[in-house]
Amino acid sequence: MYIKKIASSLLLFIIISFYSSSCIVFGQNDTTKLESKKQQPAIQQIDENQYQMVNSLDVVNNSSNYLNKKIKMNAIFDKFSTLGLDYKPAFRNSKDYISFLIRRSDVVDHVVPLSEMKLFLKREIAEKFIDLESGDKIEVYGRVFSNALGDPWIEVEHLKITNKAIKKKS
């Protein structure tokens, strides 16, 4: 059973790697935005005013204060994961969702994932983020739907790439 989950997650990652990036929005000039709008299907429109800007560590340390609230936060993407999927008290089915990790904002000299925060993204949305790489700056919009185990469990409703990481030459 565990091997099937790993295999399906790996397959999703491979599929994501080959799909076109139709939902990625970059924080660039107006000309680039206009060109990307022409090429992309309609992106889910959200009312950003419905979301409270938060610090990821504050949400982790005070998860009950954010329960059933819509939040937005700036973060650094770490990687897609299967962390927390199919956990009964805060159920999100691994067939329909993929989870991902962001980096801790309080550690600057190492890459440390913020594994206490469970972030879930519908697979059909995740497939549109093939260009998302570790180190990319993102803006996450979601709702804290549970605080099982004292951790925040967030269903991500919208994701925006605000700055691509600069690739280092090897």
Structure tokens at 55: 């610090």
Q: What is the pLDDT of residues 5-56, one digit of tens each?
A: 555 554 444 444 444 333 444 444 444 444 444 333 334 577 889 999 999 9
Q: How far apart are alpha carbons 74 and 61 in whole angstroms?
A: 17
Confidence band, pLDDT 50/70/90 cuts, at residue 130: confident
pLDDT at residue 153, as a whole number: 98
pLDDT at residue 25, as a whole number: 43
Number of Cβ within a 10 Å radius of residue 14:
9
The superfamily (CATH) of domain 2-163 is Nucleic acid-binding proteins (2.40.50.140)
Count Cβ neighbours within 10 Å for each residue of 30-45 and write b for 16 or more, e otherwise: eeeeeebeeeeeeeee
Query: Given the DSSP bridges, would you call strands 137-146 and 70-81 parallel, antiparallel or unpaired?
Result: antiparallel
Residue spans of the domains in the chain: they are 2-163
From the list 167, 166, 163, 165, the residue with the least C-alpha distance to 27 is 163
pTM here? 0.72
What angle (nearest 5°) sits at the alpha carbon of residue 47, between those of residues 91 and 146? 20
Confidence band, pLDDT 50/70/90 cuts, at residue 136: very high
Confidence band, pLDDT 50/70/90 cuts, at residue 170: low
Query: Given the DSSP bridges, would you call strands 70-81 and 52-53 parallel, antiparallel or unpaired?
Result: parallel
Q: What is the DSSP string of 9-52?
A: HHHHHHHHHHS---S---S--HHHHHHHHHHSPPPPP--GGGSE
The answer on pLDDT for 98 being more than 80 is yes
Q: How far apart are alpha carbons 86 and 4 in whole angstroms?
A: 13
Q: Taking residues 121-126, report their average pLDDT.
A: 94
